[in-house]
Amino acid sequence: MLSVIVDIIVYIFLIIGIFFNLLAGLGLLRFPDVYTRLHAGTKCTTFGSIFLCGSVIILGLKMWYLGNTDGSVLVIHTAGALIAILITNPTGAHAIARAAHRSGVKPYGAVVDDLEGKPIRKSAREKKGVGK
């Protein structure tokens, strides 16, 4: 009985995860500019990765519960990979968006750019007062 419930939860997790990962590829093709593509490419893959790795963690916990000690290694290492994704993915997306804005890419259909002309971050040389 418990095994059946766990399998149904795993199927639901797999469907949600693969749906959002496919949506990431589709959105990357269909959206009009860099910033909207960044929405599709980063958020969808993060959400889908949570569910795909979550299904692996649940099946590993089931293996561990049934007495197979490989399950413990599987659970801990998959959790490590998931934490690495969760920390690095939004940070990298933020860096790409800032680099795109500072290298002069405009949002699609934008009339007013509120951040135009404002220095987002002073360089290290300007902070020290050296140079200009």
CA distance 107 to 34: 7
Q: Residue 125 has which token pair?
A: 């040389």
Q: Which of 5, 64, 67, 80 binds another protein (CB under 8 A)?
A: 80
Measured CA to CA, the distance from residue 42 to residue 91 in angstroms comes to 10
Per CB under 8 A, the list member of 1, 2, 112, 124 interacting with another protein is 124
Nearest to 52 by CA among 90, 83, 11: 11
Q: Report d(CA 85, CA 46) in Å as an integer.
A: 7
Give the other-Cβ count within 10 Å of 113's Cβ. Answer: 11
Contact set for another protein, span 3-62 (CB under 8 A): 3, 7, 10-11, 14, 17-18, 21-22, 24-26, 28-29, 34, 37-38, 41-42, 45-46, 48-49, 52-53, 56, 59-60
Amino acid letter for position 132:
K
Residues that bind another protein (CB under 8 A): 3, 7, 10-11, 14, 17-18, 21-22, 24-26, 28-29, 34, 37-38, 41-42, 45-46, 48-49, 52-53, 56, 59-60, 70, 73-74, 77-78, 80-81, 84-85, 88-89, 91-93, 95-96, 98-100, 102-103, 105, 123-125
